[in-house]
Chain A
Amino acid sequence: QVQVVQSGTEVRKPGASVKVSCKASGFTFTNYAIHWVRQAPGQRLEWMGWINAGTGDTKYSQKFRGRVTITRDTSAITAYMELSSLRSEDTAVYYCARGSGYDLHFDYWGQGTLVTVSS
C-alpha cells in the first residue's frame, strides 16, 4: 500500500537548520511529485514547495525562497526538506504529501514531523 513515512521530532536553536526526510513506498516514486506543507500551532496549512521526484525540478513558495531546499534521492526513494536560518515562528508540524494527477492534489500524507525552534 502507498505510504510516506517521515523522520522524527527535531529541536533546533534559532539560526540553525533542520532537514526532514520523507520515505516513500508502495508506488513508483519517480512518477509523482512530493509536496511539503507546514502547520504552526493553531494556524492554517501552509504550502512550502514541491519537487518532481522524476526530474528533480522544484518550485518553492516565495515566502520561503532562499531558506528552503527540497531534494530527493531516487535510490533511497526519499525526499528531503531542509529549512535554514530557523526562527521561533518556524515551530510547526511539517508534512510531506504525494502530489497526484494534473492538479497535483495531495493524496497521501506523511504522519508529520514536529520541529521546535527554541533557545
Chain B
Amino acid sequence: DIQMTQSPSSLSASVGDRVTITCRASQSISSYLSWYQQKPGKAPNLLVYTASSLQGGVPSRFSGSGSGTDFTLTISSLQPEDFATYYCQQSYSTPYTFGLGTKLEIK
C-alpha cells in the first residue's frame, strides 16, 4: 500500500497568514493527489484534485502543487472559516490512501 505522510500534524496560525501543508507519498503517484478539508462532524470537502486543479467553488486562496512523491497545499491568506483538518489522498493505486491529517488551529 502507498503510505501518505503529512506534515505538520497540527499548526497554529492567525487570520491573514500564509500556510503550507506538505504531503509525501511512499512511492511516485504522478499527479494522482487530492486535498480535502474536514470540519468537525462534517464530511470531507474536496479542495484540489490532480495535485493542482482547484475544485469548482473553492476560493482561489487555496492552491496545490507537486508531482511524483512531494506535494503541497497552500492557503495564501487564512480566513476564519479555514480552521479545520486537511487531508491528502492518493488515487494512483488501490487501496486509495489518506494522510493522517493536519489540524489547523487559530493562534
Mark A residues whose CB is within 8 Å of B: 35, 44-47, 59, 61-63, 95, 97, 101, 103-112
Contact = CB atoms under 8 A, between A and B. Distances in A.
A101 B50 CA distance: 9
B78 interface: no
- Enumerate the 3 nearest inter-chain pairs by beta-carbon distance, A residue then B residue, closest first: A105-B49, A109-B43, A61-B95
A107 B97 contact: no
Given A44-B100, A44-B101, A101-B50, A106 B44 contact: yes
Interface residues of B, number: 22
Given A47-B95, A97-B43, 18 more contacts: A44-B100, A47-B94, A59-B94, A61-B94, A61-B95, A63-B95, A95-B43, A103-B32, A103-B49, A104-B91, A104-B96, A105-B46, A106-B44, A106-B89, A107-B46, A107-B55, A108-B46, A109-B44
